[in-house]
Structure 1
Amino acid sequence: MKSKTIKANSTETIIKEIDKATSDGFKPTLAVVFSSIKRDWLSVINVLNKKEITVFGATTAGEFIDGDIEEGSIVIMLLDMNPSSFKLIFLETSTETTLEDAKKLGGIGKETFTNPAFIIATGGIFIDGEQIVDGIMQGFGEEVTIFGGMAGDDLIAEKPIVFTNNKNKDNALIALIIDEDKIDVRGIATCGWNAIGTTKTVTKSEGNIVYTIDDKPALDMLMKYLGVDVKQDNNTGIVAFHNSWYYPLQLERENGDTVIRATRFANSEDRSLICTGSVPQGAQIKFSLPPDFDAIETVVAECASIKDNEQQQADALIMFSCVSRHLSFGALMKEEIEQVQNVWNAPMVGFFTYGEYGKSKIGTNEFHNNACCVVALKEK
């Protein structure tokens, strides 16, 4: 399977690059498109439609391609994957129907291939990522390969969008279902974020809203222990909590694994924290501090651990990296991306997300925040 990556900061240029990439006899069947919300990605889709190329797309909070980090651009990976090896599904959803819609997707995968893998992207701001993962697994009926990310909108936090050839929406789920009997799909979700302090208990929560920690208002606990503040407008209502990218919660799973939960919004009236994924009542948690350089080393080592041997390569890499990593690492983010790509020595496309889907080194499929999720594809 052959893959080519292209990028541009204007619609006109990206269209020229698509024509250039396909001028030598290369006939892609699939385009992975990650675009800034500011770019005219609809025009790009029209060009890909004319070439009869299936589109898996999402808006971003920043893009990267191979070793280059972009902002306000469009990045594309073109692949000549056999059309019989994949199926593209687009499902509209809502906060009320997320679980059932994800179950439907799991069932479609089971009906389509004996051994499917799901590469997914979700739009919207308030979709519970954990229900996406749980729903797919329930619909499929057993453990299955799931990797992906939540779309972004350049940190506006209003309307991240996922799109395919003739459909686009914020509250929606898009899935590239791949036949693992024909395409090797392997990946890992890894983080490297450091926990601090003692373990605490979520004493009241509902879904992705945490009301109290150790019987104290969750927002007050976070502000007290981490010394951070929340900008409040007249002390009423739900406010964006941008510092949450740096100070997420770490949920401790029974198997020893940890899952990160960013607290994207705070409610200044009831002093609750609104997370991007479910936080069960009774969960054991720790607070976190921004990562240091060791986090990059951890990510690179864990990405290398999924290879069968050092010589193993891939045809293509797709990377979903939380925007918090970019905000925290700054210029060092380029080094993480380059080192991960060098592990596999393959073309890479990716974007900075509002959340990630995948399996950690010791865990099961989870919805993550502040993680790096890498997917390697190799035709068998």
Structure 2
Amino acid sequence: MWIDQRLWTKDSGWSPAAAVPGEASLVLYFAAPGAMDPTALFQELKARYGNAAIVGCTTGGEIGGNDVLDDSIVTAAVGFDKARVRVAARDISDVCQSGTIGAELARDLAPRLGESELRAIFILSDGTKVNGDALVDGCIDAVTEGVVVTGGLAGDGARFQSTAVGCNDAMRAGRVAAIGLYGDSLAIGHGSFGGWDEFGPPRTITRSAANVLYELDGEPALDLYKRYLGEEAQGLPGSALLFPLSIRPSMGAEGGEVVRTIVGIDEDAKSMTFAGDVPTGHVARLMRGNFDNLVDGAGKAAEAADTQAPCLAILVSCIGRKLLMGQRIVEEVEIVSDVLGGNANLIGFYSYGEISPHGFTGKCELHNQTMTITTISET
């Protein structure tokens, strides 16, 4: 297994310019919105890497090596010795299609007659037109037990206007792509952790529909949320990235909570729309960030995903973490690098949602406000 990483900026173009080590199996790329024309980008990657599967998306920031970047493009080409790669994609026009699309992608990637075992699926999805929970559930229900499912939702900075995904074609909005990784030679690691602090009393979700929250404790959810935010409420929905919700099935349920980020508000309905489901009857609490805890959380995610062999480490972190931590955001990448050590080649992006098995329950879920890491190595 070999890995060829490159960086593109408007000032410097592509670097480094070294020759490709061999025939690539897979090319991952993460691109700032508007950094390069999507068709031109795909054509350049195709010219360099030939018949490799080429998959990527827009971001809220790029991760290349130990650096956090903006207005750039980062790529990682992988050549496997024994493992195989297949990709599949669907277009999505309505959020209600999310579950069906997840299942269809999983079925597309099911091993064919004579093909090696499917070990993992990595998903990149449009971040504004999808219900990430339904997408993940549809995929998980259609794969065999033991297949690791990870990935993330494409980003658009803090704008939440339009995201794009490419799968052997130019990136475009309304796209969901999935990468299937096959073969016993593969070792797949994963880890996901947040580090946010809960505050305020627990509130019961008394009215919701899928990923739209209408009432907490019988009160209009948006009104209650604005009271907690105070002056920060003037910046909604963008400022909500700094104050996510944790939700759990019941008051006494510990360890199974997930974090949900607001991606839109409806002033007339006094509701909030989240990147994933907020089921009625679940318990919710507000959260806020602590710099040191967020960095420690990234380190814990790396510990869970740790691998001893040379690997590609794909980091999918939340745009909310980046906005909160500002210049300190590089610290979460540095701690991941320190934990994984010199054997890891880091690439990643800042997202609108992270897909990974839950660190406590083991169930694959959509997360928000986490650092999620997928490691891929070959023995």
Query: Normalising by the residue count of structure 2, what TM-score does the alignment of the two structures yield?
Result: 0.90
The alpha carbon displacement at 1:170 in A equals: 1.5
Q: How does 1:97-112 map to 2 (within 5 A)?
A: 97-112=97-112
1:48 aligns with 2:48: no
Query: Matched residues in 2 for 1:97 and 1:139: separation?
Result: 15
**Helix, strand or coil for the counterpart of 1:202?**
strand
Match 1:250 to one of 238, 246, 265: 246
Match 1:361 to one of 354, 359, 365: 359
Question: Which residue identity lines up with residue 268 of structure 2 in the other structure?
Answer: E
The alpha carbon displacement at 1:156 in A equals: 2.6
Contact 2:119–2:186 (CA<8 Å) still a contact in 1? Answer: no
**Which residue does the alignment assign to 1:336?**
332
1:307–1:37 Cα change, 3 Å = closer
**After TM superposition, what 4+ stretches of structure 1 lie above 6 angstroms from structure 2?**
none
Question: Which residue identity lines up with residue 57 of structure 1 in the other structure?
Answer: G
Question: Which residue identity lines up with residue 245 of structure 2 in the other structure?
Answer: L
**Helix, strand or coil for the counterpart of 2:106?**
helix
Query: Matched residues in 1 for 2:329 and 2:149: separation?
Result: 24
The alpha carbon displacement at 1:207 in A equals: 0.8
1:11–1:379 Cα change, 3 Å = farther
Query: Matched residues in 1 for 2:54 and 2:84: separation?
Result: 15
Query: Matched residues in 1 for 2:40 and 2:349: separation?
Result: 20
Q: How does 1:6-25 map to 2 (within 5 A)?
A: 6-10=6-10, 13-14=13-14, 17=15, 20-22=17-19, 25=21
Once the two structures are superposed, residues 9-29 of structure 1 have per-residue CA deviations (whole angstroms, 9 ceiling, x without a partner) of 139822xx37x2325x44323
Q: How does 1:182-261 map to 2 (within 5 A)?
A: 182-231=185-234, 241-253=237-249, 254=253, 256-261=255-260
Contact 2:353–2:368 (CA<8 Å) still a contact in 1? Answer: yes
Query: Matched residues in 2 for 1:102 and 1:83: separation?
Result: 27
Q: How does 1:264-283 map to 2 (within 5 A)?
A: 264-283=263-282
Contact 1:291–1:328 (CA<8 Å) still a contact in 2? Answer: no
**Which residue does the alignment assign to 1:326?**
322
Identity %: 22
Query: Normalising by the residue count of structure 1, what TM-score does the alignment of the two structures yield?
Result: 0.90
**Helix, strand or coil for the counterpart of 1:304?**
helix
Once the two structures are superposed, residues 241-284 of structure 1 have per-residue CA deviations (whole angstroms, 9 ceiling, x without a partner) of 01111101101244632111011211111111111111101111
The alpha carbon displacement at 1:194 in A equals: 0.8
Match 1:117 to one of 112, 117, 120: 120
Query: Matched residues in 2 for 1:213 and 1:298: separation?
Result: 28
The alpha carbon displacement at 1:180 in A equals: 5.0
**Which residue does the alignment assign to 1:237?**
none
Q: How does 1:35-114 map to 2 (within 5 A)?
A: 35-40=31-36, 41-50=38-47, 51-52=49-50, 53-82=52-81, 85-93=84-92, 94-112=94-112, 113-114=116-117
Query: Matched residues in 1 for 2:337 and 2:246: separation?
Result: 27
Question: Which residue identity lines up with residue 287 of structure 1 in the other structure?
Answer: L
**Which residue does the alignment assign to 2:2?**
2
Moved more, 287-296 or 139-148: 139-148
Please, what is the CA RMSD of the aligned residues? 2.1
- Note the residue ranges of structure 2 that are not aligned, 5 or more in a row: none
**Which residue does the alignment assign to 2:288?**
289
The alpha carbon displacement at 1:228 in A equals: 4.7
Q: How does 1:142-221 map to 2 (within 5 A)?
A: 142=145, 144-179=147-182, 181-221=184-224
Query: Matched residues in 2 for 1:131 and 1:218: separation?
Result: 22
Question: Which residue identity lines up with residue 62 of structure 2 in the other structure?
Answer: E
**Which residue does the alignment assign to 2:311?**
315
1:139 aligns with 2:142: yes
Query: Matched residues in 1 for 2:305 and 2:30: separation?
Result: 25
Contact 1:124–1:172 (CA<8 Å) still a contact in 2? Answer: no
**Helix, strand or coil for the counterpart of 2:13?**
helix
Query: Matched residues in 1 for 2:264 and 2:339: separation?
Result: 36
Query: Matched residues in 1 for 2:82 and 2:163: separation?
Result: 28
Contact 1:162–1:174 (CA<8 Å) still a contact in 2? Answer: yes
Contact 2:298–2:335 (CA<8 Å) still a contact in 1? Answer: no
Contact 1:35–1:58 (CA<8 Å) still a contact in 2? Answer: yes
